[in-house]
A = this chain, B = another copy of it.
Amino acid sequence: MPAEPTVADLDEQELLARIFPHLPVGDATLVPPGDDAAVVATPDGRTVVTCDVLVEDVHFRRAWSTGHQVGLRAAAQNLADVAAMGARPTALVVGLVMPPTTPVAWVEALAAGLGDGCRPHGAGVVGGDLSSGPALMVAVTAFGDLEGRAPVLRSGARAGDVVAHAGRRGWSAAGLALLLAGQGGADDALVDAFRVPCPPLTAGVDAARAGATALMDVSDGLLRDAGRLARASGVTLDLADPCVAFDDDARRLAPAADLLGVDVREWLLAGGEDHGLLATFPAGAALPAPFVPVGRVLARAATDVLVEGARPAVGTSGWDHFRA
C-alpha cells in the first residue's frame, strides 16, 4: 500500500492548488489570494485586526483533533476576537507552518475547517503563507467591519453597570480534563467543545447595538478575563454565584465534574477556551440574547473581581503559556 502523501511530496504551488478550493472568497474580498497581497473592502474607513496562534501540542494534539477541527477552532477563536470589538468578521489570513511529514489530507482538512468556520459569516480566507517547520502552527489574523459603530473596548465599564455573559462556560475545560484523564468517551459534547469552540459570534454586534459599555472575549477563564476588563475600566466586577448565573452550564457539567472529582465552579470560573463574550451594559438595558446577567460593576476596590462580594476561593490563574 503506498504511503499517505505528505506535504514533502508536493511543491508549494501544488499544495496551494489543494488548499485554495476549500477557501471561501468572502463578501469583502476585492483581490483574492494569488497575488503578493489580497485587497479587502473596508467601507467603514476602519478595520478591526486581531491575531491568534495555535501550536501543535500546546493548543491541540493531532491525536485528539482532526485537521478540520483545528481549522474550525482557529477560525472561531479569531472571529470571536473580532466579535468582541462589536464588529462583523470580514476576512482572515493564515500563516501555516508544517513538518514535512504532515499528510496532505490533514492540510486540506485544516483548510476546509477554516473555510467552514468563515463561510456562515460571509468572511473570506484571503491569503496566507506556507512554511516547513518542526511542528504544526496555525497563525490566523482576522479582520472585521465596525459598520459605523464605535468599537466596544474593555475599558468602558462603569460602576452601576450590569455584567453579562453570552455563550458556554466551562465546557472546553471540562472536555480537556476528560481527555487528559483518558475519559474522552464519557461526554462527546464536552470533548467536542474543547476541539471546536462555538463562540456566539453575532452577539458581539448585538451587544454593541444594545449599548454595551465594555466587551471582551473570554479565552483565559472568566475570573482572569474579568480581571482584565476590571483593570482596563478602573472598576471592580462582583460576579454572582456561578452555579446560579451559569445554572444550565453547571448542570450540564455536573456528571463530568463528579466523574473527575472536580468542583464545577473551577471550570465555570477558571476554564478557558470557550470564547464566550463578557460584556457590561448600563443598568436597566435590555440584554440581547443570548446574554444573561452574571454580576454587577462596582466602584474600584482593592480586588479586581469578587464572587458574591468576596474574594474568589477557586483557581484564578487561567491559562498562561509560559509559566510552568
Residues of B within 8 A of A141 (CB): 49, 51, 93, 95, 141
Residues of B within 8 A of A131 (CB): 53-55, 58-59, 321
Provide the bound-state CA to CA distance between A7 and B324, in Å. Answer: 11
Q: Is A144 an interface residue (CB 8 A)?
A: yes
Provide the bound-state CA to CA distance between A43 and B42, in Å. Answer: 8
Contact B11 A323 (CB under 8 A): yes
Q: Which of B37, B44, B49, B320 contacts A11 (CB 8 A)?
A: B320
- Distance in angstroms from A6 CB to nearest chain B CB is 9
- The range of chain A's interface size is 35 or more
Copies of the polypeptide in the assembly: 2
Q: Which of B35, B53, B134, B135 contacts A129 (CB 8 A)?
A: B53
Q: Which of B37, B40, B46, B321 contacts A30 (CB 8 A)?
A: B46
Q: Which residue of B lies closest to A10 (CB)?
A: B322
- Distance in angstroms from A179 CB to nearest chain B CB is 19
Selected interface stretch from A77-85, A185-193, A252-260, A296-304: A77-85
Q: Which of B42, B97, B320 contacts A137 (CB 8 A)?
A: B97
Q: Is A151 an interface residue (CB 8 A)?
A: yes
Q: Is A198 an interface residue (CB 8 A)?
A: no
Contact B53 A49 (CB under 8 A): no
Interface string of A242-269 (1 = CB under 8 A from B): 0000000000000000000000000000
Contact B50 A127 (CB under 8 A): yes
Q: Is A36 an interface residue (CB 8 A)?
A: yes
Q: Which of B52, B54, B154 contacts A35 (CB 8 A)?
A: B154
Provide the bound-state CA to CA distance between A126 and B85, in Å. Answer: 15
Binding site for B on A (CB under 8 A): 7-8, 10-12, 15, 30-31, 34-55, 57-59, 81-82, 84-85, 87, 91, 93-97, 100, 126-135, 137, 139, 141-144, 146, 151, 153-155, 215-217, 232, 320-324
